[in-house]
Amino acid sequence: MGALAPVLINQPDIARYGHSYGDVTWSQGFGILTSKVLVMFLSTATTAAATQVLGQSYWNVWDLYDAILDQYWTAGARAGIVFASFGMMLAVLVTNAGSNSLPVGADLTGIFPRWLTIVRGQVLCAILAPLLVPWKIIASATAFLTFLGSYTVFLMPICACMIVDYWLVRKGNLHVPSLYTTASESPYSYCKGWNMRMLAAWTAGVAFTVHGVAGSLDADSVAEASKNMYKLGFLLSLFMGGLVYYSLCLIWPVKMVPRGAGGELGFEALAANEGFFDDENVGTITGVREGEEVHGTQHGAADSKGFVC
C-alpha cells in the first residue's frame, strides 16, 4: 500500500496528458493496480526462489545479481544479468519521471508559477534529491519498509480529501474558468489560496497514525496499540482525513460556483460543457494557442474573460 500511495496522489499530474476520458480511467485504474500488485508478487516470488537456490534471502535486487554471478559465473548468467540490469535502469528512469520528477515539477509550478515551469521543477527535483540521502533509505529492508509505510501516513489523508471533495462535496463539478483566476470570488481561492479545511484534515489524518512510525524503528518506544494502528495506517489515515474534511465542509460549506453563477448542480452537471455553464461564451478547450490552426481552421480570438473561443 505504501508503494501505491504516491501514485494515487500523483494521478492528476499524469492524467493531464490524456486526450479523452477513457485515456485516464480504465488504463490507469487497471494499469496502476495490476503493475503494483504484480511487482510485489514477482519480488516476493523471486526472493523465495533465490532462497532455495542460493541459500540466502536477498531483498535488494542488486545484491541478488551479485550473488548470482558469484555462484554462476557463466556466459548465460552474465548475459542475463546485463539484460536484467538494463531493464532495471529503464524501470528506475520511468518511475522517477512518472512518479517523482513530473509530479514535483507540476506541484512547484502551481506554487511558484511566476518563476518555475514543470521542466524547471523537474530539474530542481533532480538537484535536491541527493539531499534526501536515498542510499540510506535502501540500505536495509527495515529502513525501506519504514520509508514506504510513512508514505501512507502522510499521503493518504490528501487522497481522502481529493476523493471526498470530488465525489461528496462538489459532486463531480469543477468550474474550469475559475481554476485559472486568482479573483477572490473564485470558488477555489479559499482563504487567500489556502484550503484550511484540507490542512486541518491532513493534520488530523497524519496525527492519528504518525506516532506508530517510531514503533517501526524502535519496538520499545511506543505502546503495542500504537504499532498496530501504524500497521493499518493506510486505512486509518485515509478514513480519518476524509471524515474530518467532510465534517468541516458540512460546518463550513465550500463555495461551489462563482458568486451569482448557476444554482443547484446535479452530479457532474458541468461535465457535458467541459466545466462551463451553458450561458458562458466559451468553446471547447483544445489547448491550441490563439491564432493557430485547428484542422485547417484558424482558432478564434479570446473573449472578454481571456478564454479562447
Q: What are the tens digits of pLDDT across the range 24-78? A: 777 777 877 787 788 888 888 988 998 988 888 888 888 899 999 998 899 999 9
| 3 HSE (CA, 13 A, CB side) | 14
Report the pLDDT value the prediction gives residue 301, as an integer from 0 to 100.
Answer: 43
Which residue's entry shows cell 496502476? Answer: 32
- Residue 244's pLDDT band, with cuts at 50, 70 and 90, is very high
Half-sphere exposure of 272 (CA within 13 A, CB side): 6
Instruction: Compute the distance between CA of residue 243 and CA of residue 63 in angstroms, rounded to an integer.
Output: 43
Predicted TM-score (pTM) of the model is: 0.77
Mean per-residue pLDDT, 189-216 = 91
pLDDT band at residue 281, thresholds of 50, 70 and 90?
Answer: low
Q: How far apart are CA 162 and CA 103, in angstroms?
A: 16
Residue 38's pLDDT is 84
Question: Cα(86)–Cα(130) distance, rounded to whole angstroms?
Answer: 22
Distance CA 239, CA 236 (A): 5
Q: Which residue has the cell 452537471?
A: 269
Query: Is the pLDDT score of 277 beyond 70?
Result: yes
First to last CA, the chain: 44
Q: How far is CA 198 from CA 8, 11, 116, 165, 263, in A?
A: 17, 18, 25, 9, 25
* Spatial CB neighbours of 254, under 8 Å, sequence gap ≥ 6: 165, 169, 170, 187, 197
User: Longest Cα pair distance anywhere in the chain, in angstroms?
Assistant: 75
Helix, strand, or coil here: 269? coil
Q: CA 115 to CA 135: how far, in whole Å? A: 31
**Alpha-carbon radius of gyration of the chain:** 24
Q: What is the pLDDT of residue 262?
A: 63
> Helix (H) and strand (E) counts for the chain?
13, 2
Whether pLDDT at 296 is above 70:
no
> Of 187, 191, 162, 159, whose CA–CA distance to 275 is shortest?
187
Among residues of the chain, what percentage have pLDDT more than 90?
A: 31
Q: What is the pLDDT of residues 131-177, one digit of tens each?
A: 988 888 878 877 777 887 788 899 999 999 999 999 999 999 999 88
Dist. CA 146–CA 152, nearest whole Å:
10
pLDDT, position 286: 47
Percentage of the chain modeled with pLDDT above 70 = 89
Q: Cell triple for residue 37? A: 500488485
Does residue 201 have a pLDDT over 90? yes
Amino acid at 284: T
**Residue 284 burial class via C-beta count within 10 angstroms: exposed 0-12, middle 13-18, buried 19 and up:** exposed
Backbone region of residue 171 per phi and psi (left: phi > 0; alpha: psi in -120 to 50; beta: other values) = left
Q: What is the mean pLDDT of the chain?
A: 83
- What would the mean pLDDT of 99-110 be, rounded to a whole number? 87
